[in-house]
Every structure is written in structure tokens, then in C-alpha cells.
Structure 1
Amino acid sequence: MLAGPRRRARALLGAAVLVAGACGGGADPGAAPSPDPHPTTQSAPAPAEDAPAPADPRFEARIVPVPAEVRARMDGRSMRPDCPVGYDALRYVTLSHHDFEGGVRTGELVVHAAVAGAVVEVFRTLFAEGFPIRRMALVDDFDADDFASIEADNTSAFNCRRNRGAPGWSDHSWGWAIDLNPIENPFITAEGTTYHPASEPYLDRSRDASGVILADGPVVEAFAEVGWSWGGAWRPEPDTQHLSLTGR
């Protein structure tokens, strides 16, 4: 049922280089590839500039270079001079999503140009599946504070920050990782706890509740179809909100 859109989404990745930039949260990197020292020069195809996503009766999405007004929101927050990518490597994406109250909202993400088209196709599928998303705003609305963004149950992508508990940049620093409904899908410590009290009811990952990402559910399947991996499979510290291109 979901294969056709995914094949199109995977094709949008083209020759994207799977480079590693550890996301954090206890994943075992295994044999993941080494980071590209010049990720802004990779040859992956970018989505069409200033072009709307394919028409859908309900779902709407748009991919554009990061506008000046969005750059102003990001400067000194999620974007800094030492970041591994610059604005030219990123795209600003707006898209429709269901909320938890039965309505439809327009969310925003900043992601790497090489994955922007695939990200739109994933969220197109999740929209069709009726999967709800609490909030989707730039992490800059929370002063690029990851903890504050999670407390607001905010779904976000690009945030230039160092990896938690390991050397190197987080995958979010390249714009090829997304944290989805982070209260319903917490990072779980090796002791089985969470840093966010509102997430405690969701430590039981067998719970089939609104916005929860399950191993056999539509979110993991949709992202897998475009070559992304789910942090909920990590051990000993699963990061159940985290989806990423590199598996980190």
C-alpha cells in the first residue's frame, strides 16, 4: 500500500552521500561511514527551487531555499559560523500535518537539500495515514534549546549542536535527522527512565496511543522506505523520537 510513494521518495535521494555525524543518545555506530569534511559540496541532487510539492487534495508542501527572514530567526541559534553546513546546503520546508485535536496545521522544518524531497514524501504518507503531530516549528522558537523544544513536544530537524555523550556533531547539524513527537517518543536511558516527566507514561513502548512511533507502525515504515533509520531500535538507550538518514 505504501510502496509507490516511497520509491519516488527514495529516488529523490539520488546520489546522496551517507555520511555520519553522531546524533547522540547511546547508539552503537557500528560500521557507519565517516563524516564528510565538506558536506556542502556533495553531489546529491537538490529539490526544485521555489516549486510546490505535487498536488494533493488535502496535503500541501513547499520546498524553498532558506528565506532571509528564516535565516534571521536561525542566526546565532540553530545556525552558527562553526556549523558543518551553511544555508546553501539547507532547504526550508512547509507542510501539512494532522494535529492531536483533529485539525490540520502547517508545520515547518529545515532539512538538508539532498533529503528535502524525501522528507516531504514521508510526511505526505503520514498525513494520509492520519498520524498526528503535536507541533512542528523551528527549534529556534525555543532559542535552539533541545530540552525546551522537547518539553513543548515540538517536532524539529536542523539544529547545529554537538552530540550528547559522544564526540562530533549531531546528525541534526547536517539537517538529515528529525525528532518526531518527542514527548510521546522519548529518549530512554539505560535505566529505563526519561528526562521529561510528561514522557513517563510513554516509557511503555507497547502502548498504542496517538502520536506514538511503533516498530511496526507507519512512521518507521515510511522513513525506512526512503533509507532512514529509527533510533527506537538503539540499545541500551533507545531514542524513540529520532529518525535519521545515517542511522545515527
Structure 2
Amino acid sequence: MTSPHRCALPVLALSVTLLAGCGGSPSATAGSVGAATSATSNTTSAPTPTTPVVPSKVAATATPAAPTTVVRSTVVRSKVAATGTPATRHTPSSSSSAKATAAPKPATSLPPVPRAGAEPAVRFPRNEPAVGSGANASVSAIPDSAWTKMVGYSWTRGCPVGRSQLRWVRVNFWGFDGQRSRGSLVVNAAIADEAAAAFTRLYELRFRIRQMKPMDSGWGHNPKGPGADDYAAMEADNTSAFNCRYVGGQEASKVYSKHATGTAIDVNDFENPYVADDGTVYPDRWFLTRRGEAPGVFSTSGSAAVRAFTSQGLRWGGLWSNPDYQHFDR
């Protein structure tokens, strides 16, 4: 059986002839028309074709932009911009400051040095008390009071240098008794600042010094030549510098020592003995074979105490063939 919907056309007015041609009877015309109407309502109309829009030639072609003239501008940087904005100093807040740990107070004394196998007659000589904090080193012209005591002893006519070429160095040091004391040295002006720096470093290292007194009338006359008595000073373990004398142990040669120009310093004679050309050891040989780390001892060229002087351009006598462990010079 042929379905009346197969030949239905999407037109509301259909002729009977067309319906008959599709195999339908005249009696079914009304139903066919209704069915056609129903089918038409359920059929989606085809979209009406649109006429394509052809863009005009003018619209399709982009209008060329007018040429742009580039004007170079010169940027002048201000001095502040060129050099950069200064850094702002940071001030810690009150809370961070409150948390900061207070620096420990500097020591005012140390334990006394224990007895050694060899010591001077006066173990703890009376030293002048320290002045100020730290080493508090100073360099100045020689005071009249000090020069008066030197003339005729550590300085005599014929000395290689005069008063104007010498300087007075004052510095605090740590004594063998554990107390902070103050000492004085007379040195050549050429090494005055270096000497002050070296003894400042010894103070920082807490290196012990027995005593530090200038060579003058207090030591008496040298029994073997010009100058104050250096042998008495060595026996007392005194640290000193200028003394217009001949080379110790070789006075017969009448060759002036570097101490005669103030360019040599002797530190802790007992702990750092001197070996003369004839093999004699001054002032005592006990420490000659005991060169380890000990209070007041210059042990090796690499030790911090020795470097306190060598870093200032002074040489150490401990490296000589006849060692002079107490001696530094330029």
C-alpha cells in the first residue's frame, strides 16, 4: 500500500489530478489535503538564499597610512637620576634593638702567670697603672722630664741620632701579675707608629709583658761601653728600645747596635733570650730550648705575637743563625 504522504508536496493547494497520479483515490482527497497540511506544518522551511555581498574594491583595499615623521627627542637625565637614588640608611626598630645582645665588658685583669723554671729576681715588678681603655697607645715628642734622665746614659754625645729624631711611645699592656699596666718606649720617629700598632696588637692578644721602662739613669751606666746598662735591664726582663750602645756581647768591636738609632725593640728578655756570637746566652738559657706557646714567649715566626711586629715591616731576630728571640728591628 502506498502511503499518501510520500507524494505530498509542500503546497497547500493541490490538484486532484496530482493526487490521483500519486495513487490516491478521489474520496481520499480531503484526507490527503489535511495530511499534506499537517506534513507541511512539521516540515522545516529551507532557508531563503541570500545574495552574497561583494565588498567594494575600495573597502577591500586598506587605505595606506600617511607616512609618520619620527622626531628623536633627547632625554636629559638629571644628576640624581644618572647617579642613582642614594641608599636609605636602615634604622633598626626598637624591638630589634631590644633583642640585641649587649657586648661583654672588657676584662680588667687576668690570672697571674705561674712560676717558670727561670725568672728575674723581681717576679712582679711595680708597674705604672693603665690609662684609659684598651691599649690606648700614643706617640709624642720626648718630654723634658724623660729626656733629662736619658742624657749621659741612654743618650750621650756622638750618638747616631738626636732628640728630634726620637719619639715617646706610651701604651697599656698585660703584666705577668695579670694586671693592666702602662709602659713607655723611646723609638726612632721612623718606626714610632709601627711600634704603637704592634704593642696594641699584643694587648689585644693578651700577650704578657713583665715591664716596659725606658733606658735611662734608672738602670745605671753600661759597664762595657756607652749607653745605659742593658745587662741589668735584661736581668730584670725589661722591654725597651732606644739605648745608644754597642752590639751586646761584641762591645770590643765598637759597632753601634740598631738600638743606638732607636730602630730596634727588645721584648721580654728572659722568655726570649739572645745568643751572642761566642755562644753566650743572655740573660738565661732556660727558655732557649723551650720555645713553645707560653706567656710572653715568641715561639715561631708564624705565631700571632711575632706577626704583630713583622706585619708592621719589622724583622724578627729569632730567625738569625745566632738567634735573638727578644729582638725586632728595621
The amino acid across from 1:107 in the alignment is G
Q: 5 Å matches for 1:132-171? A: 132-140=208-216, 141-143=218-220, 144-164=228-248, 165=250, 166-171=253-258
- Unaligned runs of 5+ residues in structure 1 are 1-55
Q: 1:146 to 1:122 in 2, by over 3 A?
A: same
Q: State the secondary structure of the residue aligned to 1:63.
A: strand
Q: 1: CA distance between counterparts of 2:148 and 2:170?
A: 17
Structure 1 counterpart of 2:30: none
Q: 1: CA distance between counterparts of 2:247 and 2:133?
A: 40
C-alpha deviation, 1:113, in angstroms: 1.0
Q: 1:131 to 1:74 in 2, by over 3 A?
A: same
Q: 5 Å matches for 1:84-99? A: 84-99=160-175
C-alpha deviation, 1:78, in angstroms: 0.3
Q: 5 Å matches for 1:78-227? A: 78-140=154-216, 141-143=218-220, 144-164=228-248, 165=250, 166-189=253-276, 194-196=281-283, 199-215=284-300, 216-227=302-313
C-alpha deviation, 1:81, in angstroms: 1.1
Max Rg structure? 2
Task: Output one character per residue of 1:158-181: Cα deviation in whole Å (capped at 9) or x when no partner.
Answer: 000122425531100111100000
The amino acid across from 1:234 in the alignment is W
Structure 1 counterpart of 2:83: none
Larger RCO (CA under 8 A, 6+ residues apart): 1
Q: 1:82 to 1:121 in 2, by over 3 A?
A: same
Let me know the Cα RMSD of the aligned residues: 1.7
Aligned pairs, number: 187
C-alpha deviation, 1:189, in angstroms: 4.4
TM-score, normalization by structure 2: 0.54
Instruction: Specify which of 307, 312, 315 is matched with residue 229 of structure 1.
Output: 315
Q: 1: CA distance between counterparts of 2:174 and 2:280?
A: 29
The amino acid across from 2:235 in the alignment is E
Q: State the secondary structure of the residue aligned to 1:214.
A: coil
Task: Output one character per residue of 1:70-128: Cα deviation in whole Å (capped at 9) or x when no partner.
Answer: 11110000001100000000011111000012111000000011211111111111100
Task: Output one character per residue of 1:138-186: Cα deviation in whole Å (capped at 9) or x when no partner.
Answer: 1212121010000000000000012242553110011110000001100
TM-score, normalization by structure 1: 0.71
Moved over 3 A (4+): 189-193
Q: State the secondary structure of the residue aligned to 1:243.
A: strand
The amino acid across from 1:220 in the alignment is V
Structure 1 counterpart of 2:75: none
